[in-house]
Structure 1
Amino acid sequence: MNGLLNTHSSTTLQASFWDAMLLAGLPDIGLAGSVMIAFGVAVSFWLQLLFCWIVVTSFLSGDAKYDIQYLKEWRILYGHSVSFFDHTSGASLVSKVCQGRPFEREWWNNALISEINAYLTPVFPTGSNDGTGFTVGVVLSAMAITIWACHITTELQSVSSFGMAILRLPRGRTEVSQDAEGNRAFESISRRRLLVLGFVVIARFGAVAGG
């Protein structure tokens, strides 16, 4: 009929503590089950924060061995210094590092060059190794970012769907109905339960977006 607003909405609950919070406090769940759900939500939230903290502190900070200024100073003060020339072959430290001689492979300078060369290795060799085109490092980084973005998008979609579903439920006493096949549906939700779930959704959204 025209003029009627259909507030019915549906979403599939995931097998997670986040979605199980919707059931906490119901008679069928019991006190012990509700406490376990709340504990699981708290642990999941803090684990997400711990993961974000590890990423920020360990993977987003600069690496000292890639300090460009230090590399420039090393090349000028030591790499081309006469004091460090090999008197037998006449080779400088820079020459030894770039040539990658067996006895110099333990030097961090040579290891750094090896890492850079491995990153810039072309996926499809074309005879030139100038770091242009599709290199191993670029392709691997792009794949990792794409997989991460797909996972985050799926999680955010799940959180949004859950949040919209509970917002569209009529207010009142929390009522759960059951059909002949045993499927259950929420007919209404109390404002207190909605408030608690609102905080859970916001916390989950922030944890997922931050991760």
Structure 2
Amino acid sequence: MVGEVPLTAGELRRATVRLRADVVAELPRAGAGARARADYWTTPIEGRTPHAALVERSLRAAVGDAVLRQWACQAGLLADPTEAGFRTRLDAENARRATAAAAGRPLPGVPRYDEESFARTEAAQLSTALRDTLADRVDLSDARLRARYAELITAADPAAGVPLFDQSRDRVRLDLLTTAFNQELSHRVGTIQATPLPTADLVVREAE
């Protein structure tokens, strides 16, 4: 459970598929050949198995995904934050794309979404929309923008060139909103009551 919404195997599997390459990159396989590949996930590297690392990260990411959808629901951007709601939206979007293609007016982007690509697209859209809802809660005054601009310029590489403030205003505004969004999402993830999925180990193992 994440709050009052069940955490499902489908959500965890998508998180695993998204993160497994990161784990392989950070905990590289020793040796080559079929046996090394077969034993990779259960062979300790730097004190822990890649499987254990992937389970931990996948659960954390799945909770974050669920919290994002629940926040979007509270903000009126989604009607249903559950896995069933996700699949309904996926099917509806694919039906919309199929209808448009059959009429000779294909929509931009992929002809058909799979679970992973639709989840990434939806999360990005929700994140942008939620970020923008914070505009009335974040200090975006000229003085604050200039102060943040000065902070960014101080931290920047002088060799890269320094754009003028007027040229950077929109990017500084976006930086402040993005920071506020990340802080709010982290706070929500950190304070929500989450119960680990009992079958997490098996779900991740099957997606490795």
> TM-score scaled to structure 1, two decimals?
0.23
Q: Tell me which protein shows more helix as a share of its residues.
A: 2
Q: Tell me which protein shows more strand as a share of its residues.
A: 1
Larger radius of gyration: 1
Which protein has greater RCO, CA pairs closer than 8 Å, 6+ apart? 2
